[in-house]
């Protein structure tokens, strides 16, 4: 699209003479390529100059920037960004169905389950914590929910590769900051919401409100998925009465599920659909809580009109989700890596492993620095479900790890059965694995798929799974 045509479609002040073609919108001057539109929300001259040197066709700014030759679009940059995306990415917005998933825990697993189901008969990709994963596409990203310009460019890449669907993880930060706008969702699911990110949202009420914004991104009559026991279900249904609400639960819901059998390696789940059809789902995903992720993905698929055969097959084909109750394949010890980093997730992970454990549960985890201090004691208290607790560092960032651990320990007092405090995460993992017996289970929680540890201002290479495998290789 030429600049003149774009400008004619949006309300703005345009200063410039060139009529060059424009290709993509970007908000990071370091990523600019020739023909891009650069948006500087602060009107930063330094970034504008950098984008000009890299070949930006036009700069969008809240105020005129002197002494640059690149054309400028001036106005409310947030509104202009939405208008530009709507006009520049017409093909992508019209031809890719975007499915959104939010909730405190389970976003990534639900996304991958839904993506697998859709891929049985269509071409779909995931956008979220693990990056952009599609057919012949595997790109790392820094945010769970990309800013809207990056999200639009991701859809453009997917469209070029003939994808028909994109399953997007919608974080509370992303929803609150309008990163989804102006992209409309075709279906949305909200998993359970429990305490997290109060350092950003202030309290649990505001946190829930941010999460529930996902339903405002839907058009009328679109599928809206939620668990039947959500305390705010009726309020949400009243607020968005024209959505196609589909509830899930273990009872009293549109779609109901129950665990029929389970082992350390797999589970069998029975699903009751609204048409009174029963599905038998076989899954390699471990954990009682996985039934909630599976139910949410089935509700989404049901709302999108996907066949029952695709639901069963898609779920069965998902062998594991990186860092999400991921079992390390070895007969030496039972070791699971999980991203659980909230009190609720820690408690659920340990409880679910107890149901398949013949020995003791060893739990290794810490809490992040420069984040919600209020949940630290709750995290440690949740860890009391384990037989032996190893308190260690997570991403301490700029906080003193000893101070973080002290906050955690205030939540357990003398309640703990067996406790080991080890600041060095690698040592804690090693101690847990080496002290476990073959019938025990070691849960290493908090970091999941992450391949780094943030200590001070440094990013240190570290991956729980790789290090655990290294330790396991030395075990008898």
Radius of gyration of the chain (CA): 24
Record the tokens describing residue 289, joined without a space.
């809580």
- pLDDT surpasses 90 at 289: no
Q: Are strands 244-249 and 137-139 parallel, antiparallel or unpaired?
A: unpaired
Selected residue with higher pLDDT from 330 and 177? 177
**Rounded Cα distance, 76 and 178, in Å:** 15
Query: What pLDDT shows up at residue 195?
Result: 64
3-class SS of residue 73: strand
Q: Is the pLDDT of residue 193 over 90?
A: no
Least confident of 19-28, 260-269, 372-381, 391-400: 260-269
Question: What is the model's pLDDT at position 416?
Answer: 79
Provide the pLDDT for residue 263.
Answer: 84
Domains (ranges, CATH) in the chain? 3-78 (3.40.1390.10), 90-317 (3.40.1190.10), 326-472 (3.90.190.20)
**Cα separation of 446 and 86, whole Å?**
38
Q: Over pLDDT 70: what percentage of the chain?
A: 100
User: For residues 458 and 416, is the Cβ–Cβ distance under 8 A?
Assistant: no
Report pLDDT for 152: 97
- Residue 270 pairs in a beta bridge with 258, 280
Record the pTM. 0.89
- Residue-level pLDDT at 302: 97
């Amino acid at each position: 699209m030429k600049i003149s045509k774009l400008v004619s479609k949006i309300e703005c002040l345009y200063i410039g003479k060139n009529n060059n073609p424009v290709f993509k919108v970007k908000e990071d001057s370091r990523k600019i390529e020739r023909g891009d539109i650069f948006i500087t929300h602060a009107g930063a001259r330094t970034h504008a100059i950098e984008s000009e040197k890299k070949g930006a066709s036009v700069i969008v700014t809240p105020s005129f920037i002197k002494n640059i030759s690149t054309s400028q679009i001036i106005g409310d940059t947030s509104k202009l960004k939405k208008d530009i995306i709507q006009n520049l990415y017409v093909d992508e917005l019209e031809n890719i169905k975007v499915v959104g998933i939010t909730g405190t825990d389970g976003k990534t697993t639900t996304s991958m389950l839904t993506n697998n189901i859709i891929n049985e008969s269509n071409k779909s990709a995931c956008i979220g914590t693990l990056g952009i994963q599609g057919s012949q596409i595997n790109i790392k990203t820094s945010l769970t929910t990309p800013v809207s310009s990056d999200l639009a460019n991701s859809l453009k890449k997917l469209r070029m590769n003939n994808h028909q669907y994109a399953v997007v993880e919608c974080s509370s930060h992303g929803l609150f900051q309008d990163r989804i706008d102006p992209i409309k969702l075709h279906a949305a699911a909200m998993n359970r919401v429990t305490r997290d990110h109060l350092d950003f949202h202030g309290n649990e009420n505001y946190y829930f409100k941010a999460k529930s914004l996902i339903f405002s991104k839907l058009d009328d009559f679109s599928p809206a998925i939620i668990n039947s026991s959500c305390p705010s279900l009726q309020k949400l249904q009243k607020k968005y009465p024209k959505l196609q609400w589909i509830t899930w639960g273990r009872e009293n819901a549109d779609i109901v599920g129950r665990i029929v059998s389970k082992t350390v390696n797999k589970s069998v789940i029975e699903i009751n659909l609204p048409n009174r059809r029963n599905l038998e789902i076989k899954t390699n995903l471990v954990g009682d809580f996985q039934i909630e992720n599976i139910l949410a993905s089935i509700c989404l698929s049901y709302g999108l009109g996907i066949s029952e055969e695709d639901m069963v097959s898609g779920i069965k084909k998902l062998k594991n989700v990186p860092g999400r109750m991921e079992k390390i394949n070895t007969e030496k010890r039972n070791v699971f890596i999980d991203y659980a980093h909230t009190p609720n997730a820690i408690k659920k992970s340990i409880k679910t492993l107890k149901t398949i454990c013949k020995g003791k549960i060893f739990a290794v985890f810490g809490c992040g620095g420069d984040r919600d201090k209020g949940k630290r004691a709750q995290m440690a208290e949740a860890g009391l479900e384990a037989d032996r607790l190893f308190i260690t560092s997570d991403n301490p960032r700029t906080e003193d790890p000893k101070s973080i651990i002290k906050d955690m320990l205030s939540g357990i007092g003398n309640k703990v059965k067996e406790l080991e405090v080890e600041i060095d995460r690698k040592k804690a993992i090693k101690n847990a694995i080496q002290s476990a017996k073959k019938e025990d289970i070691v849960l290493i929680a908090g970091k999941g798929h992450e391949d780094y540890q943030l200590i001070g201002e440094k990013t240190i290479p570290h991956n729980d799974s790789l290090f655990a495998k290294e330790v396991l290789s030395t075990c008898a």
